[in-house]
């Protein structure tokens, strides 16, 4: 706290010299007045400093420190499911009885897809992304729409590369893709107690390749927290199949469910499937990748058949 200026207290008009002849009593009275004031100011400043420290600790903890790991890379989970209360997001969309989420939550499994299958699926992503790739840190390959990151833009790989696609992919690649999608769909249906026939694949469903290259466009800024149902209205159930290993193939890049008190984190593992209802009960983000390359595929499902998309075909 800055030192107090010690000057004579201004006298009322008319008191003049009589007041100036009593400096010691004036200083004593001033000191008595300043004592409680100085103590109060010190207490207020101390409280403010404590509050600022608490807020800073809370902010840092929410971003980095206060996390609970739902699935560690070294674990092999036959199935882990955490139920959470459903948000109201689904109320603003058409409801489909027996499918629209009434039971909400998030699940992780390492037995739906084998690691060998994950390696083969990753090879599909690597072959497709070898045709392009973003100038920033996040590259996208969508076999359904044909969208492929190239530089700072997207192209339709089926139109852009034409018959060359036949030499890049094979019918076996597309069959594996369909088989994996179906296994994930069945796992989601079982976990949420709904019929798999009521779930429909929806867009965007895509491969992602993320590295530590600095973002060049907004499409590269994958790390922002978001709600899938808000970002993509058709989403009801979201899933991710990880195709590389945390701390072996890349650093950072963990999947984070954002929650008050402590975030919940999933460490990617090749073959691991993470799935969840798409509303704001599962606000989430991906940590920035610090080194290496992270591969995954997002597979999304809707209850609305009007928003369904077909599996990609090799033609």
**Phi/psi of residue 77, nearest 5 degrees:** -100, 125
Contact 230, 280 (CB under 8 A): yes
Q: Could you give the dihedral angle defined by the CA atoms of residues 219, 225, 231 and 237, in that order, rounded to the nearest 10 degrees?
A: 120
Does residue 21 have an active-site annotation?
Answer: no
CA 273 remoteness from chain centre: 16
Give the strand pairing for 250-252 and 237-242: unpaired
Sequence-ordered strand ranges (E) for 219-279: 237-242, 250-252, 255-257, 263-266, 273-277
Contact 170, 256 (CB under 8 A): no
From 122, 181, 269, 294, active-site residue: 294
Distances (CA, A) of 68 to 16, 71, 238, 240, 253: 73, 9, 21, 19, 15
Question: Which positions are catalytic?
Answer: 294
């Amino acid at each position: 706290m800055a030192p107090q200026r010690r000057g004579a207290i201004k006298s009322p008009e008319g008191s003049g010299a009589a007041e100036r002849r009593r400096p010691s009593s004036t200083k004593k009275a001033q000191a008595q007045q300043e004592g409680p004031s100085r103590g109060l100011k010190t207490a207020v400043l101390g409280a403010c400093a404590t509050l600022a420290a608490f807020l800073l600790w809370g902010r840092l903890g929410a971003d980095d420190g206060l996390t609970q790991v739902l699935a560690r890379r070294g674990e092999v989970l036959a199935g882990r499911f955490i139920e959470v209360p459903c948000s109201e997001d689904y109320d603003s969309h058409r409801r489909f009885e027996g499918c629209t989420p009434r039971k909400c939550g998030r699940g992780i499994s390492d037995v739906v897809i084998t690691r060998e299958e994950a390696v083969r699926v990753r090879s599909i992503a690597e072959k497709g992304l070898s045709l392009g790739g973003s100038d920033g840190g996040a590259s996208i390959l969508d076999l359904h729409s044909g969208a492929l990151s190239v530089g700072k833009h997207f192209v339709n790989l089926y139109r852009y590369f034409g018959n060359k696609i036949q030499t890049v992919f094979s019918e076996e690649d597309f069959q594996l893709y369909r088989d994996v999608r179906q296994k994930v769909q069945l796992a989601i249906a079982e976990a949420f107690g709904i019929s798999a026939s009521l779930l429909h694949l929806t867009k965007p469903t895509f491969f992602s390749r993320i590295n530590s290259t600095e973002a060049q466009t907004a499409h590269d800024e994958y790390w922002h927290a978001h709600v899938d149902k808000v970002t993509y209205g058709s989403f009801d159930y979201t899933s991710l199949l990880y195709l590389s290993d945390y701390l072996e193939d890349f650093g950072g890049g963990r999947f984070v469910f954002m929650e008050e008190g402590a975030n919940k984190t999933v460490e990617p593992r090749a073959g691991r499937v993470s799935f969840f209802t798409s509303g704001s009960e599962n606000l989430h983000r991906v940590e920035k990748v610090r080194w290496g390359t992270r591969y995954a595929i997002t597979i999304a499902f809707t209850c609305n058949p009007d928003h369904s998309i077909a599996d990609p075909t090799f033609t």
